[in-house]
Amino acid sequence: MTGFATVIYEIKDGIAYITLNRPKALNAYNVQMRNDLFQVLEAVKSDREVRAVILKGAGEKAFCAGADLSEFLTAPPPVSARSIRWERDVWGLFLSIPQPVIAALHGYVLGSGIEMAMCCDIRIAADNTQFGLPEVDLGIIPAAGGTQTVPRAVSQSMTFDMLLTNRWIKAPEACEAGLVNRIVPSEQLLTEVEEIAGKIVSYRPEAVLALKKAVNGGLDLNMAQGLDLEKRLAERVNAELT
Amino acid sequence: MRYDTIDYKKEKGIVIINVLAHPVSQKKKERLSVELYDVCAKILSDKKILLTLLTGSNKDSFSIESITTAPDSVNIDTGSSPLNISDSIAGLDMPVIAAVNGNVSGPGMEIILACDIRIASETSSFSFPCIKDGRIPQGGGTQRLPRLIGRAGAMEMLLTGEPINAKEAKKKGLVSRIVPDGELLSHAKEMARKIVSKGPIALKYAKEAVNKGLDMTLSQGLQLEADLYYLLHTTEDRTEGIKAFRDKREPDFKGK
C-alpha cells in the first residue's frame, strides 16, 4: 500500500508504520522525502483507523543521518523558499498529528533525524544510537524545529552543548538527558515499540486523543489555561461514557 | 576601567573572564559586580568577540561569599536602577560558557544560570543557601533554575538550600559535562575554540532561536526558527559551510 519513493507506509492492527526508506543514503532527508512525508502525514491525520503511529528508519545504519546535502548546496530562490515555508510545512503538520507517534531510533540520528524524532511523543532508542546536531558546522541552524523541540525535552545546557559544539551523544547519555524515554537492545527495538503502540491501540481512542491534546496543548499555555483545557477535554471525553 | 577582581583576556575571538576571588569584604564584592557589569558592556561593543568564557581561578570564585548579583548600595552612572549582573551576562549576543569548580552558590549560581553552556569539575557543588537566612534569590534564580532543570528539582534546591554535587547537577541538566578537576580550563578552552570555528552568524541565530523560542509557544518558536533559517540563506557562510562539507575540508567562515 505504498506508492512513495522514499517512505514506506503501512497500516496493521490500528498501527501506522512510517519507514524512512533511503537506506543507502542513511535515510537522509531530501525534497522527495519531504513531499512523501507530507502526503503520508496528511493521510495519517485524517485516518480514523490509525490509532498509533510508529516512525522508523530502514536499514542497519541509521534512523536518519540528516538532510541530503547534495540537494542543499545552493539556497533556494526566495520565491520558492517562501512557498516552502507556507505550503510545505511538514513539521507543523507532523506536530499537529492527533494520534500518538512513537519514534523507533537506531544508528545515526542526526540533524533532521533528531528533529523528526522530537516531533514524536515517545522515543525509544536502540543501544547503538548516536545523536547529533551538526548544523552550525555547516553555517546553518536546524530548520525542522530542532531549536524549539530539543530544549523542551532536554535542558538548555545540553541543547547548547550539542548545538554549538556539534557534540554527538550516545544512547545512555541521551536517555539520562531526557532525549529518549528508554534504551533497548537493537534486536528488540521494533518489538518494544510495537508493544507500546499495541497498548495505546488497546485503549479508548477518544481518551488517547484527548490525553495527547491536553499534554501538548497545555505545555503551550499558562497553568490556569492548561487546567482549563484539561477540564474541558475531560468533561467531554468522560461524558461520552455515561 | 581597571580590573582588580577579574582577569580579562582576549584571544582569537574568545574572551576569557577569570573571577579572581575571593573578595571577602562587601566592598570588594560590589567591586566585582561593577567590573563584571563593565566587562559585559565592553564585550557587547566589541564586534570581534565571538564567544565569552567565564571561569574562576579559586574554589570560591562563584560562592555566595564572593559574588553579589545586585548590590543595592552601588550607584552606577547609567541610572538609579541597581545593576544586575546575571541580566548583563544573559544579554550577551554570543555563546557564553561557564566553567566552574568548587562551591557555586547564591549569586554565583545566578550568574552561571545566565550562561548558555555550563561545565563543571568533579568536585564542584551547587546551591542556593539564601533561604536559610530568610531571603530569596534576586538575580533570576527563581526563574532561570526551574526553566533549566524543571520545577521539582528547582523547588528542592531553593526550598532546602542544600547543595548538590557535580554528578547530580549533570543528571538534573544543570551542567552538560563534568571534567576532572585539573582539566577544567583546558577542556573549556578547547570547547570554546571548537565553537568559534563555526559560522558566527549561525551561532548567534542558534542561541537566539533557543532562548527566545523557550519564551514562546511552540508554534511561534517554530516560526522564529524558520525565519532565522531563511535569513541564513542570504549569508556567504552558509554556502561555504555546505561546500566545505561536500569537499571534505574545514570550512572558512567569514561571518558574512
Task: Judge whether B50 and B94 are in contact, CB under 8 Å.
Answer: yes
Yes or no, beta carbons of B218 and A143 under 8 Å apart: no
Tell me: do A127 and A189 sit in the same domain. yes
B6-196: in CATH 3.40.30.10: no
Tell me: do A178 and A224 sit in the same domain. no
Q: Which CATH class is domain B200-246?
A: mainly alpha
Give me the pLDDT at residue A71, please: 78
Q: Which of A72, A151, A159 sits opposite B242 (nearest CB)?
A: A72
Report helix, strand or coil for A107: strand
Pairing of strands A52-57, A15-20: parallel
Q: What is the mean pLDDT of residues B169-193?
A: 95
Tell me: do A57 and A153 sit in the same domain. yes
Q: What is the mean pLDDT of residues B55-81?
A: 66
Cell of B159: 526550598
Comparing CA positions, the residue from A142, A166, A192, A211 lying closest to residue B230 is A142
Residue A95 placed within a domain: yes
pLDDT band at B173 (very low <50, low <70, confident <90, very high): very high
A187 given a catalytic annotation = no
More confident site: B85 or B173: B173
Longest dimension (CA), chain A: 59
Please report the beta strands in A5-121, taking only residues with DSSP state E, as ranges in sequence order. 7-12, 15-20, 52-57, 62-64, 101-105, 108-110
Residue A2 placed within a domain: no
pLDDT band at B79 (very low <50, low <70, confident <90, very high): very low
ipTM: 0.79
* Burial class (CB within 10 angstroms; exposed 0-12, middle 13-18, buried 19+) of A140: buried
Residue A97 placed within a domain: yes
Give me the pLDDT at residue B130, please: 87
Q: In this structure, what CATH number is given to the domain that contains residue A152?
A: 3.90.226.10
Tell me: do A208 and A196 sit in the same domain. no
Asked if residue B105 has pLDDT above 50, the reply is yes
* From A49, A135, A195, A240, active-site residue: A135
Q: What is the mean pLDDT of residues B45-51?
A: 93
Tell me: do A221 and A192 sit in the same domain. no
Whole-number Å distance between alpha carbons of B163 and A175:
24
pLDDT band at B152 (very low <50, low <70, confident <90, very high): confident
Cell of A233: 477535554
Domain that holds residue A234: 204-239
Q: What is the mean pLDDT of residues B206-212?
A: 95
| Domain residue extents for chain B | 6-196, 200-246
Count of domains in chain A?
2
Give me the pLDDT at residue B64, please: 78
Asked if residue B21 has pLDDT above 60, the reply is yes
Residue A16 placed within a domain: yes
B222/chain A closest Cα distance in angstroms:
6
Asked if residue B82 has pLDDT above 70, the reply is no
Tell me: do A174 and A228 sit in the same domain. no
Tell me: do A214 and A134 sit in the same domain. no
A41/chain B closest Cα distance in angstroms:
18
Tell me: do A148 and A228 sit in the same domain. no
Yes or no, beta carbons of A164 and B95 under 8 Å apart: yes
Q: What is the mean pLDDT of each run of 10 residues along chain A (242 residues)?
A: 85 97 96 92 95 97 92 68 67 92 97 95 96 92 92 93 95 95 96 96 93 91 89 88 74
Task: Judge whether A109 and A41 are in contact, CB under 8 Å.
Answer: no
